[in-house]
Amino acid sequence: MSETKRLAGKVVLVTGAGQGVGRGIARACAGEGASVALAGRTVAKCEAVTREIEALGGIAIALSCDVTDPAQIAAAVAATADRFGGLDALVNNAQSSVRRLLAETTPDDVDLCWRSGALATFHAMRAALPLLRARGGGSIVNFGSSTAIDGNAAFGAYAMAKEAIRGLSRVAAREWGRYGIRVNVVVPNALSPSAERFREQEPERFSRMESMLSLRRVGDPEADIGRAVVALVSDDLAYLTGDTMMLTGGV
């Protein structure tokens, strides 16, 4: 646990918090003193991370939430506020992905990425707005992807959703700034479960990929991505809004 406690007294809700980047963000925020609600489709994973946080002296709760269901998103936001007395930051990390060439991409593929990404982000932001306003402001951190920015092959449906999230974030930053609410986007390159499987199954290809990064390594979900999100949620970056933070190691 950090001795600085930059997020002491703050309440943070993280979606997709049971593994990978979401887990790293939840641990980093809790380590800085925040009370953290971990929301995920597989609640057992969130409960496991909650136990990790509690073992380190942090405060956390696990919530079952399928972000493709607006009602479950609203319930998770409400449960966070009921448990901790409000909400200071929302981190929309959850997102399903489909990898398929455009000629083979189906409407169902697009629908899944859209509902779990752009629409889920929209619904969570709308649900969080009254709580953030009641606090006199706060921070929303949404997630983009370098696959969308670079236009990587086979990520068409995913890229559509991720770039929609960036557009939504810029509009929200403009509209909600008057309430003291900052909205930013993080584009991460980190050891997610899929990246770890890639490293285990194809170590030579993974090594070549790392060698193309300026920093020659894939980011750590907690130390590299989580701590950056802490800065966005804290007062350290209080004048940053409507922007995209590229945490890609120099792709």
pLDDT tens for 90-107 read 999 999 999 999 999 999
Which tokens go with 150?
């670079």
Mean pLDDT, the chain, as a whole number? 97
Residue 193 has pLDDT above 90, yes or no: no
Q: Note the pLDDT of residue 56.
A: 97
Q: What is the 3-state secondary structure (H, E, C) of 93-138?
A: CCCCCCCECHHHCCHHHHHHHHHHHHHHHHHHHHHHHHHHHHCCCE
Q: Are 124 and 87 in contact (CB under 8 A)?
A: no
Residue owning tokens 């918090």: 17
Residue 172 has pLDDT above 80, yes or no: yes
Which tokens go with 110?
């697009």
Residue 214 has pLDDT above 90, yes or no: yes
Distance CA 134, CA 245 (A): 27
How many Cβ atoms sit within 10 Å of the Cβ of residue 166? 20
How many Cβ atoms sit within 10 Å of the Cβ of residue 57? 10
Residue 159 has pLDDT above 80, yes or no: yes
- Residues with Cβ within 8 Å of 122's Cβ and at least 6 positions away in sequence, in order, are 168
Exactly one of 84, 155, 158, 176 is catalytic; name it.
158
Q: What average pLDDT does the segment 20-27 reach?
A: 98
Q: What average pLDDT does the segment 199-212 reach?
A: 94
Catalytic-residue membership of 179 = no
- Tell me the whole-structure pTM to 2 decimals: 0.96
Q: Work out the pLDDT band at 234, boundaries 50, 70, 90.
A: very high
Q: Note the pLDDT of residue 38.
A: 99
Residue 3 has pLDDT above 90, yes or no: no
Name the CATH topology of 11-247: Rossmann fold (3.40.50)
The helix (H) or strand (E) run that includes residue 225 is: none
